[in-house]
Structure 1
Amino acid sequence: MNLEELKPEVKSIIDRVQLTVNERLLKLCELLENHVEYYNWVGFYFKNGDKDELKLGPYVGEPTDHTIIPFGKGICGQVAVSNQNFVVPDVSAQDNYIACSITVKAEIVIPIFVNGENIGQIDIDSNTPNPFTEADERFLEFICKEVAQILE
């Protein structure tokens, strides 16, 4: 299934108002991890109250010790500060990278904005070197806009 074909599935999950926000976010993680072969860890991080740190939300994949990430640390922490997408084709080439697993080769992080404020992000790790394209960025931006609607 290509990324465009997943968009109606994403909307369907977002529209399931009988589910909690976290249940819908987890279903999105499962959808992506199950249908995009190079998405090996999919999760959400959100700003932790008024602290300058991110807190792990729903995710699928290997368990992680990184449940709290300070702003500026690692790829996720940098996105919390920069408000910009961050695509890392080769994590071993990054100085400010927090290793979750030795199998991870690449990472993409896209911020989620609610009312112009960066409130969190979707984080995807891949065990495939350099798998992410502009199509992944656009698709994940679409997901973040959909997610923002249920977080407002």
Structure 2
Amino acid sequence: MTHQELKPKVQEILAESQLSVEHRLEEICNLLRDNIAYYDWVGFYFKNGDKNELKLSSYAGEPTDHTIIPFGKGICGQVAESNSNFVVPDVKAQDNYIACSITVKAEIVIPLFVNGENIGQIDIDSNTIDPFTKEDEKFLEFVNAEVAKVLE
């Protein structure tokens, strides 16, 4: 399925207001992982209360030990501080990388803003080297903008 074909599906899932937000986010993770071949792990991290750390929320893929990530640590922790997208074509080239699995070759993390505040992010791991394009960035920005509407 293309990014364009997935957009209305993301909106349909988020519109299911009878489901908890966490459940809807899990469905989005599954949708993306099941329909984009190089999205091998998809998850949402959110700021953990008043702490300078991220806490794993919903995800699809192998379980991870990295359920709490301090700000500044790893790609996710860097995005929590920079408020900017971070695309890593080859994780081996990153000094400040937290390995979730030996099979992960690339990662993309897009911050999620609600009312201008970075409250979390979507994190995608790929077992393929350098798979992410500008189109992936734009699509994941769209996903986060739609998620933000539910969280406002």
Q: What's the TM-score once normalised by structure 2's chain length?
A: 0.99
Q: How does 1:111-130 map to 2 (within 5 A)?
A: 111-130=111-130
Distance 2:20 2:130 in 1: 34
Equivalent residue number for residue 21 of structure 1: 21
Percent identity among equivalent residues? 73
CA distances 1:60-114 after superposition (whole Å, capped 9, x unpaired) = 1111000100000000000000000000000000000000000000000000000
CA RMSD of aligned residues (A): 0.4
Q: Which runs of 5+ in 1 are unaligned?
A: none
The 5 A counterparts of 1:3-152 are 3-152=3-152
SS at match of 1:50: coil
What is the CA–CA distance in structure 1 between the aligned matches of 2:126 and 2:104, rounded to whole Å?
Answer: 6
- In structure 1, what residue type is equivalent to 2:31? L
Alpha-carbon separation, structure 2, partners of 1:14 and 1:51: 27
TM-score, structure 1 normalization:
0.99
Figure out how many residues of one structure are paired with residues of the other and give that number: 152
- Deviating 4+ runs (over 3 angstroms): none
